[in-house]
């Protein structure tokens, strides 16, 4: 078959190479001057290409539409993916959290291996050419139009990515093409993204370890994560925050703005229950009864958080610790277990690692990624309404959905 693959990112490269290896006549069209621009910056330049976990664990890490991915992930598992890249000559290693990287720690080795795979299999690679539409005749794909010409084909694979980090080329073109073809696109929002909050003046750069951060909407905790986080000039970031941003997508509008009365709540001492924490404060007070409350609190938390805790608890930090009443201690304990920062929104698309939302998966066949509306039209990778947490899951989704097409196009 004559097939045009649109976008030479993770999904498009593997799909184009795989289809060409099966004997199809493949044209791969990429708007950038080189392939795999986003792939190159993944994993802080090291490319965490998959996660060496079993498929069930994998699907537990998928945030949007895990059931849709069932058959593609089982069809091309993380272990298949590792073997595949090893067969392309890239040696891999598994790190903490089962994250898989090239032994060289260079994402470029993954990009180069895929590029070589594509070219060795005879794919016609067109760089600096942008696809503007996919043309249809009698409910089937007939051609792909670019800013430079028209390509007649039997099938078109849309692998244009999402809308985050648009400087890498993924700026939402796939959504426009899909909409024009009558596909529904679930409103895209940034995910795995820092959050903008109020009340963080003076905290930028402070990082916290072993804390539990939760998001509360209308007084109800909707997601919690334990681990590391940090404060930015306008909010919060770090591993637990990125995860929370993905898990709470449904509580934001299409501009990434959270419902009113949302806040982020940080438990500085998740390992201690309230009584144990109170007992610890009592011990600190009897060890230094003349110390001011603000000095005493420095033994329990970073100095820059003390004034925030004091102001939220209503205590007078200048007073001697020994005058604290039980009620005042309870209030302090309450704040140490839950410092609240009003939550405004997600950061903008430019700062997001993945896009949540995209081509509505109810209109796509999960077995082969073919449109249920148009014969010969396929969607793979991040352009679909699928996304996962950090750990190599998003790239594996790109690779697995790509391989579903390779297996099924005959």
Ligand X SMILES: Cc1cc2nc3c(=O)[nH]c(=O)nc-3n(C[C@H](O)[C@H](O)[C@H](O)COP(=O)(O)OP(=O)(O)OC[C@H]3O[C@@H](n4cnc5c(N)ncnc54)[C@H](O)[C@@H]3O)c2cc1C
Which residues, 118 to 147, sit near ligand X by CB under 6 A?
130-131
Which of 371, 394, 400, 404 binds ligand X (CB under 6 A)? It is: 394
**Alpha-carbon span 148 to 135, nearest angstrom:** 15
Residue of 265, 232, 239, 219 lying closest to 348 (CA atoms): 232
Judged by beta carbon, residue 161 or residue 235, the one nearer ligand X is 161
Which of 267, 347, 382, 385 binds ligand X (CB under 6 A)? It is: 382
Which stretch in 32-40, 196-204, 223-231, 271-279 sits in contact with ligand X by CB under 6 A? 32-40
Judged by beta carbon, residue 170 or residue 262, the one nearer ligand X is 170
Nearest approach in angstroms of CB 152 to ligand X is: 17
Question: In sequence order, what E strands does 122-166 have?
Answer: 124-126, 131-137, 140-146, 150-152, 155-158
Which of 109, 115, 173, 385 binds ligand X (CB under 6 A)? It is: 173
Helix and strand counts by DSSP (H, E) for the chain: 13, 21
Judged by beta carbon, residue 17 or residue 43, the one nearer ligand X is 43
**Alpha-carbon span 268 to 274, nearest angstrom:** 12
Judged by beta carbon, residue 293 or residue 386, the one nearer ligand X is 386
Residue of 314, 322, 276, 266 lying closest to 295 (CA atoms): 322
The verdict on 17 binding ligand X (CB under 6 A) reads no
Q: Three-state DSSP class for 34?
A: coil
Judged by beta carbon, residue 77 or residue 312, the one nearer ligand X is 77
Which residues, 175 to 234, sit near ligand X by CB under 6 A?
none
User: For residue 43, is it left (φ>0), alpha (ψ between -120 and 50) or beta?
Assistant: left
**Alpha-carbon span 129 to 31, nearest angstrom:** 5
Which residues, 349 to 378, sit near ligand X by CB under 6 A?
353-354
The verdict on 8 binding ligand X (CB under 6 A) reads yes
The pairing of beta strand 195-197 with beta strand 339-346 = antiparallel
Q: Three-state DSSP class for 84?
A: helix
Judged by beta carbon, residue 46 or residue 407, the one nearer ligand X is 46
**Alpha-carbon span 172 to 174, nearest angstrom:** 5
Judged by beta carbon, residue 131 or residue 156, the one nearer ligand X is 131
Nearest approach in angstroms of CB 47 to ligand X is: 6
Which of 144, 203, 395, 409 binds ligand X (CB under 6 A)? It is: 395
Which of 19, 229, 398, 405 binds ligand X (CB under 6 A)? It is: 398
Which stretch in 31-39, 82-90, 258-266, 337-345 sits in contact with ligand X by CB under 6 A? 31-39
Judged by beta carbon, residue 84 or residue 341, the one nearer ligand X is 84
Question: In sequence order, what E strands does 232-271 have?
Answer: 235-237, 262-267
**Alpha-carbon span 151 to 379, nearest angstrom:** 18
The verdict on 12 binding ligand X (CB under 6 A) reads yes
Residue of 40, 52, 43, 275 lying closest to 169 (CA atoms): 40
Do residues 130 and 144 make contact, with C-beta atoms less than 8 angstroms apart? no
Nearest approach in angstroms of CB 225 to ligand X is: 18
Number of residues in contact with ligand X under rule CB under 6 A: 39
**Alpha-carbon span 322 to 288, nearest angstrom:** 8
What the block records as the tokens of 238 is: 């770090």
Largest pairwise CA distance in the chain: 85
Judged by beta carbon, residue 34 or residue 233, the one nearer ligand X is 34
**Alpha-carbon span 33 to 285, nearest angstrom:** 65
Which of 73, 141, 144, 159 binds ligand X (CB under 6 A)? It is: 159
Which residues, 34 to 73, sit near ligand X by CB under 6 A?
37-39, 41-43, 47-48
Return the half-sphere exposure (C-beta side, CA atoms, 13 A cut-off) of residue 105. 2
Which residues, 317 to 356, sit near ligand X by CB under 6 A?
353-354
Which stretch in 68-76, 154-162, 276-284, 331-339 sits in contact with ligand X by CB under 6 A? 154-162
DSSP state of 272: S
Chain contacts with ligand X (rule: CB under 6 A): 6-12, 29-32, 37-39, 41-43, 47-48, 130-131, 159-161, 164-165, 168-170, 173, 353-354, 381-382, 392-395, 398
């Amino acid at each position: 078959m004559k097939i045009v693959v649109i976008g030479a990112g993770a999904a498009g490269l593997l799909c184009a190479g795989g289809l060409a290896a099966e004997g199809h006549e493949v044209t791969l069209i990429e708007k950038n001057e080189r392939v795999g621009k986003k792939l190159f910056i993944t994993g802080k330049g090291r490319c965490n290409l998959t996660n060496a976990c079993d498929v069930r664990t994998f699907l537990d890490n998928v945030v949007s539409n895990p059931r849709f991915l069932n058959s593609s992930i089982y069809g091309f598992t993380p272990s298949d993916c590792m073997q595949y890249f090893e067969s392309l000559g890239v040696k891999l290693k598994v790190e903490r959290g089962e994250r898989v990287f090239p032994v060289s720690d260079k994402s470029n080795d993954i990009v180069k291996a895929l590029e070589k795979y594509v070219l060795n299999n005879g794919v016609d690679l067109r760089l600096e050419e942008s696809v503007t539409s996919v043309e249809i005749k009698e409910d089937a794909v007939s051609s792909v139009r670019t800013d430079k010409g028209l390509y007649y084909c039997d099938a078109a694979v849309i692998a244009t990515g999402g809308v985050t980090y648009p400087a890498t080329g993924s700026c939402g073109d796939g959504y426009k093409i899909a909409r024009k073809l009558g596909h529904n696109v679930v409103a895209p929002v940034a995910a795995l993204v820092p959050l903008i909050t109020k009340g963080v003046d003076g905290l930028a750069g402070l990082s916290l370890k072993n804390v539990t951060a939760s998001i509360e909407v209308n007084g109800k905790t909707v997601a919690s994560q334990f681990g590391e986080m940090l404060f930015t000039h306008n909010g919060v970031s770090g591993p637990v925050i990125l995860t929370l941003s993905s898990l709470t997508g449904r509580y934001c509008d299409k501009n990434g703005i959270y419902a009113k009365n949302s806040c982020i709540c940080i438990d500085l001492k998740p390992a201690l229950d309230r009584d144990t924490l109170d007992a610890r404060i009592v011990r600190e007070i009897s060890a230094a009864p003349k110390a001011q409350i603000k000095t005493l609190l420095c033994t329990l938390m970073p100095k820059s958080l003390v004034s925030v805790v004091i102001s939220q608890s209503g205590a007078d930090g200048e007073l001697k610790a020994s005058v604290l009443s039980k009620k005042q201690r309870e209030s302090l304990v309450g704040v140490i277990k839950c410092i609240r920062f009003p939550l405004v929104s997600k950061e903008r698309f430019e700062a997001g690692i993945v896009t949540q939302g995209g081509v509505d998966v109810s209109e796509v066949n999960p077995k082969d990624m073919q449109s249920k509306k148009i014969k010969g039209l396929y969607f793979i990778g991040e352009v679909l309404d699928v996304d996962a947490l950090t750990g190599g899951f998003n790239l594996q989704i790109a690779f697995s959905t790509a391989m579903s097409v390779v297996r099924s196009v005959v």
